[in-house]
Structure 1
Amino acid sequence: MSSPDQTGQRHSWFEDVQALIIGTLFVSLGLVMFRQVGLMTGGTVGLAFLAHYATNLPFGPLLFVINLPFYALAWRRLGKRFTLKTLAAVTLLSSLSELTPQWLGFAKLEPLFAALAGGLLIGTGFIILFRHRASLGGLNTVVLWLQERFGWRAGLVQLALDSLILLASWPWMDGQRLALSVLAAGAMNAALAVNHKPGRYMAY
């Protein structure tokens, strides 16, 4: 008898909706921790951080705008359903990233803990979104397409791209925060590499 992971069952709309909410909430919590201690991350979220640090423009709208060019790739390569769910996830994260700091604050937050816990929260949020055929747009879309097209491990490809973005953040980071940001990227992508392997989760 086939296991649930081999049946390729379609998620219901309710399952997709709750996944978008929970996944983006996990990511927004991780990002709040990063912003509290001044850490960076990769992907289009990292690009939005770079633009935010360089221009002082609000992070949420920057994230939404930076993702716009990638929707064409998502539509052509991964389909309408994926693209619409990704658009919903990005819009939700853009809103949560501005609202969550108004709802949640930290009296004390150690940077090392923020790097590890925040990275794992973000990685877990990505896994939830990926397993419901959604992403946070941009480079996540490219990474997911490469995994589905060539079988490349999403976590490893994401780690390579994230490393390049972290290096680009050097002008706005000191050595300690950059090292902790690298550690955070490692935690995030370790969660992806271990828990999101090609063919392991077949629902869609």
Structure 2
Amino acid sequence: MAGKAALAGLVNSSSDRHSLFDDAQGLVAGSMLAVLGVSLLSSAGLLAGGTAGMAFLMHYATGWSFGLCFFAVNLPFYYLAFRRLGPAFTVKTFVAIALTSVLSEIAPRFIGLSHVDPVAGALFGGLVIGAGMLALFRHRASLGGIGILALYIQDRFGWRAGFVQLGFDGLVLALSFFVASPFIIASSVLGAVVLNLTLAINHRKDRYIAM
């Protein structure tokens, strides 16, 4: 009986709480969508905002793999996540970042994109990454860095996480002038706008309450 009760706790969710299975599915799905979106941006030669943008800049400047750069730039933000958003959020975010980093290394072996127009890459890539981050946010996780800070600011001050992240994304993309052409930067800004509008419109605490 105890075993059945424990199993029920793993798979049974309620209207206001996710089960462990729900969270696992959300983390995997969100990470996979993020990797697909990053693949679209990368194949179009675009950049991104937030820590993904910082990882892209490091990747283009050093030649290191995106997955390694993405994992590394997120390390300083775990302290903020633990102190401000709790251990459960921190653990789930660490898992999501690790999954995204690993999958971004594996995905090119199975998904080859020979040509992606920069504007199309911005539109589709921004939307897909936004959907992935939305899935993670709804399971109380993020892709780290600016996402952690944006969620904290939303919880603390009520500012929309999407708009907060858009401001930080603009700063990161401004630094892209050192490594990309104006057209690529303009297309990257378009992708950031699509991504963050997806979050701002769809992620509201008063519309989605499950934890």
Bin of the TM-score, shorter chain as denominator length: over 0.9
Please say which structure displays the higher CA radius of gyration.
2
Instruction: State the shift of 1:126 in Å.
Output: 0.6
Residue 186 (str. 1) matches residue 197 (str. 2): no
Q: Deviations over 1:177-199 (max 9, x none)?
A: 10100000011011011101232
TM-score, normalised via structure 2 length: 0.91
Match of 1:93 among 93, 97, 100: 100
Name which structure has the greater RCO, CA cutoff 8 Å, separation 6+.
1
- Aligned pairs for 1:171-182 within 5 A: 171-182=178-189
1:88-110 per-residue CA deviation (whole Å, 9 max, x = no partner) reads: 00000001111111110124322
- TM-score, scaled to structure 1: 0.94
2:125 maps to 118
The answer as to whether partners of 2:46 and 2:187 remain within 8 angstroms in 1 is yes
Q: Percent identity?
A: 49
Aligned to 1:136: 143
5 Å-filtered alignment, 1:44-83, equals 44-83=51-90
Between the two proteins, the alignment pairs up a number of residues equal to 198
Contact (CA 8 Å) 1:153, 1:198: kept in 2 or not? no
> Gapped runs of 5+ residues in structure 1?
1-6
Judge conservation of contact 1:118–1:184 (CA < 8 Å) in 2.
yes
Matching residue within 41, 53, 56 for 1:34? 41
Q: Structure 2: which 5+ runs fail to align?
A: 1-13
Report runs of 4+ in structure 1 exceeding 4 Å deviation.
none
> Superposition RMSD on alpha carbons, in Å?
1.1
Contact 2:43 2:114 in 1 (8 A): no
